[in-house]
Amino acid sequence: MRPSTWCRLILSSVLSLALAAAAPARAQAPATAPPFKIGVVTFLSGAAAGPFGVPARNAAEVVAEALNGGKVPAPYAQKGLGGRPIELVFVDEAGGPVVQVTEFRNLVQKQNVDAVIGYISSGDCLAIAPVAEELKKLTLFFDCGTPRIFEDGSYRYVFRTAPHATLDSVAAALYVTEVKPKLKKIAGINQNYAWGQDSWNDFEAAMKALRPDVKVTTSQMPKLFAGQYGAEISALMSGSPEVIHSSFWDGDLDAFVLQASPRGLFKKSTALFSAGETAMFKLAGQIPDGTIIGARGPNGVFAPDSELNRWFRAAYNDRYTLWPVYPSYRMAQALLGLKSAYEKVQAGGAAPDQERIVTALEGLTYESPAGTVKMAIGKGHQAVQEAAYGTAKHVGGKLTIVNVKRYPADKVLPPEGVKSADWIKSSLKPVK
Amino acid sequence: MATILAVLIDGIIYASWLFVIAAGLTMIYGVMRILNMAHGSLYALGAYAAASLAGTWLARGYPPLGSYAMLVLAAILVGLVVGPAIERGLLRFTYGRDEVVLVLVTYALFLILEDLVKLVWGVESYFVSEPYGLLGNVDIGPLSYPVYSGALVLVAAAAGLGLHLAIRRTRYGKLLTAVIHDREVSAALGIDVNRVFLVTFTLGTMLAAVGGALTAPTVSVVPGMGVEVIVLAFAVVVIGGLGSVGGAALGAIIVGLVRSASVHFLPEVELFSIYLVMALVLAFRPRGLFVAAEARKI
């Protein structure tokens, strides 16, 4: 062999070693069963990466690895998906719906994934659903909020394993009504895009149904990532509302709290942050006692105590020295839903085909770290879960949640075949 | 009445914040004919540097009042280090080219700086909120404003007045004016145009960084924070007339007051109001309020 051939040999083996080392969290598996390949799509860059995308990716890694190692408590003790190892392929959700549709086709047609779990942005979910249907690929939305997906459409291959956003706003209204029986004035500050507008519209409609005499002093809709809220805070203060509803998240939530707190807004009014849980630890010093906090379902600090939940928190904390937040819970919930459906139809060790998994997932009831999940609405494709809200209280310098109230799924989400907006108007009755 | 007062105060505070950022942008354009797309990144760099410096200062337990000095020091450092590095290392190779090419060059710079910020500081958010509340509050009617916001107004006024006097009353300002009017003739008359460019760009960078540093205590410093700012700064600068510091001041006050009025009276149109004003101004004065139409040079 000539020296250059040697060089090439060495170089190529070094390269292949490096590539193998850099491969995504691929779990070890018995050589016999072919892996079940899952495309996982969350924000890995941009503003939504820190609070949502990365905690979700972390959860996917922790859960997939533990499943492959057979370390998850019952009923998920079987390794992988019915013995088949799970392989994850991560894709960044940044770039908008057009980019995401291309990425989705790439996952399905080039990478040949067996299923896709993903999507935090409602815009991405709305764009992906028809494409998933066209390509006939099992797709689980784990986080996006808009009720429109299964209220305006009907899909066979598309599922959402977390409740939609109506739960967050209706449960918020129920909680406020309960803890502030003499409430007269409310106000809102929400971001001017789908999530903020839907959140406020549902909350306002629910409040008006529950307490028809309540007045809205102002509804502020600053631009997403506006960052400066001086005038909005003045407008909120001058109306002296008792409760301020906000579905702000991440940087905007931080900035709003940092600017409103020194101006004494939270001394005059109680703030309600429907997605506040992702920020409650880093803002612990600024969030005053009495602030109402939600986690978009019974996630994070609201998760009911169970062996599965204790395992999940410990496993996540061991690896990342952080506690899992609601996007982490929702990611775990999607993976475990897929596993439940897979193992339900697996007969005698043979791998079930996609059609049977889809049929099994329709209407399925299963356990997640956040309690029981029922694929009850959207023709069995949309999950329902109980809701929870609580109030912030500092105990010994640490922020804790007290006065937690839980609402069963049928009190915060519409039944099968009813649209959220109609349901809020028709079924919520004034309280005395 | 109380609402009108609130509109005025909120508007002026917002305008001051906008002006500090927009002044640097318009000055760089006026002198160098560069529409600096990376201006927002320089603002973000100021905020990151301020969060790091003031954060370290406070974490070490030094007197909290010193954190204000740290904010200013951070902005000066960013201006002195990053400004000359960009001007000498990149921009000077592009002088004399079409303005559109320079937009592309500075856009590339913006992308590079955004990634650089992530390389240095990562993607998590930074907080340095103490200076915002440290000076206490002033109660005006039912509202309460931090003294810090008043200080921001003073800084903006000082920056505006300082720039005005420097351009009108100093020798350097005269040289600057000459370069603005005709780069080649100025060079022929013996003015060191390269030096003027270097100083202008450094000063512009410093103003952007001051804007970022003074904003840092009111927000969480996160990747991408410069993107939002650049759009607003452009609106301000375009309303006032590109290249005019006085125009930027007027543009900032108009945008601040219009935005604040819509937040108080008609929140639904807040987003739209700023751009409506911009469209109206441009419909009647296409070159902005402070720039007179000029004959095209051959």
Q: What are phi and psi of A147, to 5 degrees?
A: -70, -15
Q: pLDDT-derived band of residue A149, with 50, 70 and 90 as boundaries? A: very high
Q: Provide, as residue numbers in chain A, all residues whose Cβ is less than 8 Å from the Cβ of B142.
A: 237-238, 240
* Pair of tokens at residue A252: 């905007």
pLDDT at A432 over 90: no
User: CA–CA separation, B205 vs B202, rounded Å?
Assistant: 5
Q: Provide, as residue numbers in chain B, all residues whose Cβ is less than 8 Å from the Cβ of A218.
A: 267
Q: In the block, which residue shows the tokens 């301000």?
A: B236
Q: In the block, which residue shows the tokens 């927002």?
A: B40
User: CA–CA separation, A89 vs A116, rounded Å?
Assistant: 9
Tell me what pLDDT residue A156 has.
Answer: 97
User: CA–CA separation, A2 vs A161, rounded Å?
Assistant: 59
Q: Which of B219, B223, B267 faces A220 most closely, judged by CB atoms?
A: B267
Closest residue on chain A to B256 (Cα): A231
Asked if residue B70 belongs to a domain, the reply is yes
Q: Nearest-CA neighbor of A202 among A163, A233, A239?
A: A163
Contact status, residue B41 vs residue B118, Cβ threshold 8 Å: no
pLDDT at A17 over 70: no
**H helices of A211-325, where?**
230-238, 250-260, 265-268, 307-320
pLDDT at B206 over 90: yes
Cβ of A237 under 8 Å from any chain B Cβ?
Answer: yes
Q: Provide, as residue numbers in chain B, all residues whose Cβ is less than 8 Å from the Cβ of A225.
A: 224-225, 227-228
Average pLDDT along chain B: 93
Contacts of A274 (CB under 8 A, 6+ apart): A168, A169, A172, A199, A203, A245, A246, A247, A294, A296
Could B149 and A219 be called an inter-chain contact, meaning their C-beta atoms sit closer than 8 Å? no
pLDDT at A322 over 60: yes
Q: pLDDT-derived band of residue A221, with 50, 70 and 90 as boundaries? A: very high
Chain A, window 49-108: residues with a beta carbon less than 8 angstroms from a chain B beta carbon: 49-50, 54
3-state secondary structure of B142: coil
Residue A110 DSSP symbol: I
pLDDT at A367 over 80: yes
Name the pairing type of β-strands A387-395 and A398-407.
Answer: antiparallel
Average pLDDT over residues B170-199: 92
A116, β-bridge pairs: A39, A139
Q: Nearest-CA neighbor of A370 among A306, A421, A319?
A: A306
Asked if residue B290 belongs to a domain, the reply is no
Q: Provide, as residue numbers in chain B, all residues whose Cβ is less than 8 Å from the Cβ of A54.
A: 123
Largest CA distance in chain A: 91
Give how far Cα B62 sits from Cα of A42, A333, B47, B56, B127, Å: 41, 47, 20, 9, 17
Contact status, residue A388 vs residue A404, Cβ threshold 8 Å: yes
Could B14 and A231 be called an inter-chain contact, meaning their C-beta atoms sit closer than 8 Å? yes
Closest residue on chain A to B229 (Cα): A226
Tell me what pLDDT residue B29 has.
Answer: 93
Low-confidence winner among B39-43, B61-65, B220-224, B251-255 (lowest mean pLDDT) = B220-224
Asked if residue B221 belongs to a domain, the reply is yes
Average pLDDT over residues A325-335: 97
3-state secondary structure of A71: coil
Average pLDDT over residues B20-27: 95
**The complex's ipTM?**
0.94
Closest residue on chain B to A45 (Cα): B123
Q: Provide, as residue numbers in chain B, all residues whose Cβ is less than 8 Å from the Cβ of A250.
A: 125, 220, 222
Average pLDDT over residues B172-200: 92
Contact status, residue A207 vs residue A173, Cβ threshold 8 Å: yes
Could A50 and B222 be called an inter-chain contact, meaning their C-beta atoms sit closer than 8 Å? yes
Cβ of A232 under 8 Å from any chain B Cβ?
Answer: yes
Q: Provide, as residue numbers in chain A, all residues whose Cβ is less than 8 Å from the Cβ of B260.
A: 231
Q: Provide, as residue numbers in chain A, all residues whose Cβ is less than 8 Å from the Cβ of B133.
A: 261-262
Asked if residue B297 belongs to a domain, the reply is no
Average pLDDT over residues A397-403: 93
Q: pLDDT-derived band of residue B23, with 50, 70 and 90 as boundaries? A: very high
**H helices of chain B, where?**
2-32, 39-59, 66-89, 99-121, 130-134, 147-169, 171-181, 183-188, 193-215, 225-240, 245-265, 270-284
pLDDT at A1 over 50: no
Tell me what pLDDT residue A242 has.
Answer: 97
Q: Mind telling me how many Å the CA of B8 is from chain A's nearest CA?
A: 10
Contact status, residue A66 vs residue A16, Cβ threshold 8 Å: no
A:B CB pairs within 8 Å: 121
> Could you report the per-residue pLDDT of B74-106, keeping only the tens digit for each?
999 999 999 999 999 999 999 888 989 999 999
> Could you report the per-residue pLDDT of A29-72, keeping only the tens digit for each?
444 679 999 999 999 887 788 889 999 999 999 999 999 999 99
pLDDT at A349 over 80: no
Asked if residue B140 belongs to a domain, the reply is yes
Q: Total structural domains in chain B?
A: 1
pTM summary value: 0.89
Domain around B274: 2-284
Could A258 and B132 be called an inter-chain contact, meaning their C-beta atoms sit closer than 8 Å? yes
Q: pLDDT-derived band of residue A15, with 50, 70 and 90 as boundaries? A: very low
Low-confidence winner among A49-53, A87-91, A420-424 (lowest mean pLDDT) = A49-53
Instruction: Tell me what percent of the residues of chain A surpass a pLDDT of 70.
Output: 92
Asked if residue B229 belongs to a domain, the reply is yes
Q: Mind telling me how many Å the CA of A65 is from chain B's nearest CA?
A: 25
Could A258 and B218 be called an inter-chain contact, meaning their C-beta atoms sit closer than 8 Å? yes
**H helices of A261-325, where?**
265-268, 307-320
Could A49 and B271 be called an inter-chain contact, meaning their C-beta atoms sit closer than 8 Å? no
Average pLDDT over residues A4-28: 48
Average pLDDT over residues A365-379: 96
Average pLDDT over residues A281-295: 91
What CATH number is given to the structural domain containing B127?
Answer: 1.10.3470
Q: Mind telling me how many Å the CA of A347 is from chain B's nearest CA?
A: 46
Q: Which of B2, B127, B149 faces A238 most closely, judged by CB atoms?
A: B2
Chain A, window 122-151: residues with a beta carbon less than 8 angstroms from a chain B beta carbon: none
> Could you report the per-residue pLDDT of A134-144, keeping only the tens digit for each?
999 999 999 99
Within 13 Å and on the Cβ side, how many CA atoms surround A145?
A: 22
Tell me what pLDDT residue A30 has.
Answer: 45
Tell me what pLDDT residue A28 has.
Answer: 45
Could B146 and A262 be called an inter-chain contact, meaning their C-beta atoms sit closer than 8 Å? yes
3-state secondary structure of A2: coil
Tell me what pLDDT residue A10 has.
Answer: 52
> Could you report the per-residue pLDDT of A293-309, keeping only the tens digit for each?
999 999 999 999 999 99
Residue B245 burial class via C-beta count within 10 angstroms: exposed 0-12, middle 13-18, buried 19 and up: buried
> Could you report the per-residue pLDDT of B256-272, keeping only the tens digit for each?
999 999 999 999 899 89
Average pLDDT over residues A389-402: 94
Q: What residue type is assigned to position A39 of the chain?
A: G
Closest residue on chain A to B272 (Cα): A223
Average pLDDT along chain A: 91
Could A46 and B224 be called an inter-chain contact, meaning their C-beta atoms sit closer than 8 Å? yes
User: CA–CA separation, A140 vs A163, rounded Å?
Assistant: 12
Could B270 and A238 be called an inter-chain contact, meaning their C-beta atoms sit closer than 8 Å? no
Q: Nearest-CA neighbor of B241 among B186, B282, B198, B192?
A: B282
Q: pLDDT-derived band of residue B236, with 50, 70 and 90 as boundaries? A: very high
Asked if residue B96 belongs to a domain, the reply is yes
Could A238 and B142 be called an inter-chain contact, meaning their C-beta atoms sit closer than 8 Å? yes
Q: Mind telling me how many Å the CA of B183 is from chain A's nearest CA?
A: 38
Instruction: Tell me what percent of the residues of chain B surpass a pLDDT of 70.
Output: 98
For an interface test with B, the pick among A185, A234, A280 (most B C-beta atoms closer than 10 Å) comes out as A234
Q: Provide, as residue numbers in chain A, all residues whose Cβ is less than 8 Å from the Cβ of B7.
A: 231
Asked if residue B131 belongs to a domain, the reply is yes
pLDDT at B247 over 80: yes
Tell me what pLDDT residue A350 has.
Answer: 76
Between CA A216 and CA A274, with CA A179 as vertex, the angle to 5 degrees is 65
Tell me what pLDDT residue A13 has.
Answer: 52
